[in-house]
């Protein structure tokens, strides 16, 4: 597998800020998909589901090119998830590659149920991280340097500084959340997973994930009191 490309944080951070500002029903409890943000989410159109289902079927039949296309579709989401867990780009690349190597060996075990395969890939990565990291507890570990691309749309230097400081406050606040809340925020906004897929990764019901996200957004709003949302 080739190395994963660096993730883009701008749209993910924008999605979190939008949720904290109360945009969308229930403080962002709907699927995160701000118009124009460019944020990749995994509630795909029906024709995309058909294509992905076909790729999965071909990959399960031994078609390496089909699996390579699945890799291209999902490597960014897996890499982003791993990176916020380990905060080490080289290790994140290794674990991402290992995730897809393991997925390729186990593709026969995946059963298509009309849902996206994103949660399956992320779950494999989650298990690998637990094997490599002493604590299986989720820790949000994004380094400030990894968010420099978040300033890509900023024009004025002064605005750039303010935006970066604001985003650093947000990242610091996420790090202060409990492990379950931080992982929920990560899966929903940084990965753009649906409620259903997030529930599958966390092993919780969709209702439990909604409540977890609500508590997380409320905790973030409290931590960021005084910051313009």
Residue that is written with structure tokens 């610091």 in the block: 172
Q: At what angle do helices 89-106 and 118-132 cross, to 10 degrees?
A: 120
d(CA 192, CA 214): 16
pTM above 0.75, yes or no: yes
* pLDDT by position in tens, the chain (length 229): 545 555 567 777 788 888 888 744 344 445 544 333 334 444 567 678 889 999 999 999 999 999 999 999 999 889 989 988 888 889 999 999 999 999 999 999 998 776 779 999 999 999 999 888 776 678 877 665 565 554 555 555 566 667 778 888 888 899 899 999 999 999 998 888 999 999 999 999 999 999 999 999 999 999 988 776 5
CA angle 86, 88, 89 (to 5 degrees): 120
Own/partner long-range contacts of 222-229 (Cβ < 8 Å, ≥24 apart): 223/173, 223/176, 224/20, 224/169, 224/170, 224/173, 227/166, 227/169, 228/166, 229/17, 229/20, 229/21, 229/22
């Amino acid at each position: 597998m080739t190395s994963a490309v660096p993730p883009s944080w701008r749209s993910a951070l924008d999605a979190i800020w939008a949720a904290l500002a109360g945009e969308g029903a229930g403080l962002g409890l709907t699927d995160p998909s701000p118009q124009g943000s460019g944020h990749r989410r995994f509630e795909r159109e029906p024709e995309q589901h058909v294509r992905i289902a076909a790729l999965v079927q071909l990959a399960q039949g031994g078609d390496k090119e089909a699996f390579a296309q699945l890799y291209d579709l999902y490597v960014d989401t897996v890499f982003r998830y791993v990176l916020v867990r380990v905060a080490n780009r080289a290790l994140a690349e290794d674990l991402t590659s290992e995730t897809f190597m393991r997925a390729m060996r186990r593709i026969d075990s995946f059963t298509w149920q009309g849902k996206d395969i994103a949660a399956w890939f992320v779950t494999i990565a989650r298990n690998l991280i637990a094997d490599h990291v002493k604590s299986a507890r989720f820790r949000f570990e994004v380094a400030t340097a990894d968010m420099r691309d978040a300033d890509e749309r900023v024009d004025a230097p002064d605005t750039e500084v303010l935006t970066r400081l604001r985003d650093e406050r947000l990242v610091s606040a996420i790090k202060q959340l409990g492990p379950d809340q931080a992982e929920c925020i990560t899966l929903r906004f940084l990965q753009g997973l649906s409620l259903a897929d997030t529930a599958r990764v966390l092993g919780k019901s969709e209702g439990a994930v909604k409540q977890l996200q609500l508590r997380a957004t409320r905790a973030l709003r409290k931590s960021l009191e005084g910051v313009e949302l």
